[in-house]
Amino acid sequence: MNPLTKGSKQPPPIKGHKIRLYSNRFCPYSQRIILVLDAKKIQYEVVNINIANKPDWLYEKVPEGKIPALEVENEEILTDDLIIVDYLEERYHQHPLYPKDPLQKAKDRILIEQFNKVVNAMYRLTINIGRMNMNDDDVIAQGLSVFERELADRGTPYFGGSKLGMLDLMIWPWCERADNLKVFGYQHLLRRDRYKKLMEWRNHMTEDTVVKKSLLHSDYHIKYLQSYRAGMPDYDLILNSN
């Protein structure tokens, strides 16, 4: 289904205990929520939005038309990806994603927040045409080194242990898009000899059944990024490729 645009008809109200995610196929913050929904085996539907030409009704449902947004019972709307995933973790107890130990849970939350530095640096390097911060290379390298050491210290294939957990899912969307850095000459930031544990972790993630559900090949991410930088973001890219 094509992303909904200005003038499109509003979807009917959700029924029963079903929930609806207002999303965009190329939004990593939306992917965070989808990963958690799939990991916890929660029934949901997705309404993809053309974020360059949003439908009018979206602004009536969601403050400032912001996505991702989750519509739950009684047409309540939740925004902010991290708030949403914490709600899902607390509301749906099956397949818990955070550690049981309160201290470890707190440490994982700190690491999720810390990863924002890597996210912001990647954004500046790949989305912004002009370089705004010459230290972005160091921010990414130092950030990835933190997670490399963390995996080594834990001695497990995933940050969540023998199976993926919330920390794995929260950093994955940007690791899935890591090859975007190569397109603009930053391949030196992804040295395999420097991030051996992370590279092994990435291989484990791509083989996981939960991750596979929303996984896109790097070619799609690169083509979308190129269309975005050209001022014509192709939100129908995946549909047009089929």
Alpha carbon distance 211, 160 (integer Å): 14
Instruction: Give the amino acid at 6.
Output: K
In the chain, % helix, strand, coil (3-state, to 5) comes to 55, 10, 35
**DSSP conformation letters of 72-141:** -GGG-EEESHHHHHHHHHHH--SS--S-SSHHHHHHHHHHHHHTHHHHHHHHHHHT-SS---TTHHHHHH
Active site residue 175: no
Q: Kindly name the residue from 21, 27, 84, 170 that is annotated as catalytic.
A: 27
| Phi, psi (deg, nearest 5) at residue 101 | -70, 120
Q: Which residues are catalytic?
A: 27
